[in-house]
């Protein structure tokens, strides 16, 4: 008898199954469990789908071909990366087709001032948009979330490289993202990948990465 434990299967990357309700629910759960500056926000929201309705579901709806998941064979996803090639166009689409329905769904529902739900509702009512100069020079954007089991080991870098390769294939010149200042680990991770600070906001940075020229080719 072999008493040595079998090593865990390696994580692989595949396209998100955006038409699979079970996978979509799993991705919503990952979004919730990473919504507190990368840490678990379970129990913080009266409506636990709010984070996913803001940061996840619009990407799955309007840019499903730029969504990948990280998962072990036969297991549910442990992380994902989402992208949009043209942020300005994406934001316009959401203002026409996504935010109005979400506002109507939550209209009139009481929320406690200062709660996570109240913060989410303010985001829905007045969603931030990328500064014009950022969207012009770095038109794509990305969003990545990993559960603790998938953090480390280069899995986040692999996910991002998958997305960046797809963006380069489309001829996209640059990509940006927003990251909270409180999430020091994420800020360091992006800087290690070559992202540079473009804008400093009161509680967040906007970081950017060129996908053109020799620097972009090395990422």
**Range 68-79 average pLDDT:** 96
- Is this prediction's pTM over 0.75? yes
Q: What is the pLDDT of residue 110?
A: 85
In terms of Cα–Cα distance, which of 119, 177, 193, 167 is closest to 145? 177
Task: Tell me the pairing of strands 140-146 and 196-200.
Answer: unpaired
1: pLDDT strictly greater than 90: no
Query: pLDDT by residue (tens digit) across 115-133?
Result: 999 999 999 999 999 999 9
Distances (CA, A) of 59 to 18, 29, 81, 191: 10, 15, 10, 24
89: pLDDT strictly greater than 80: yes
pLDDT classification of 40: cutoffs 50, 70, 90: very high
| CA angle centred on 190, ends 185 and 195, rounded to 5° | 150
Q: Which fold has domain 12-218?
A: Aminopeptidase (3.40.630)
User: Does an H or E element contain 171, and which?
Assistant: none
**pLDDT more than 70, % of the chain:** 93
Q: What is the pLDDT of residue 9?
A: 62
Query: pLDDT by residue (tens digit) across 141-154?
Result: 999 999 999 998 89
Ordered by start, the domain boundaries in the chain are 12-218
């Amino acid at each position: 008898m072999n008493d040595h434990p079998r090593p865990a299967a390696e994580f692989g990357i595949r396209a998100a199954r955006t038409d699979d309700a079970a996978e979509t629910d799993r991705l919503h759960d990952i979004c919730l469990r990473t919504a507190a500056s990368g840490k678990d926000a379970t129990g913080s929201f009266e409506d636990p789908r709010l984070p996913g309705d803001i940061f996840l579901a619009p990407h799955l709806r309007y840019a499903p071909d730029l969504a990948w998941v990280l998962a072990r064979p036969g297991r549910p996803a442990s992380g994902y990366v989402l992208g949009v090639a043209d942020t300005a166009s994406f934001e316009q689409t959401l203002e026409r087709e996504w935010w109005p329905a979400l506002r109507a769904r939550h209209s009139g529902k009481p929320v406690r001032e200062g709660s996570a739900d109240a913060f989410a509702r303010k985001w829905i009512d007045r969603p931030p948009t990328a500064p014009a100069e950022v969207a012009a020079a770095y038109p794509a954007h990305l969003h990545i979330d990993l559960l603790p089991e998938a953090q480390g080991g280069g899995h986040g870098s692999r996910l991002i490289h998958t997305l960046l390769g797809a963006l380069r294939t489309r001829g996209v010149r640059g990509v940006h993202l927003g990251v909270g200042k409180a999430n020091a680990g994420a800020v360091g991770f992006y800087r290690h990948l070559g992202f540079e600070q473009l804008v400093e906001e009161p509680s967040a940075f906007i970081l950017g990465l060129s996908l053109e020229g020799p620097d972009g080719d090395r990422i």
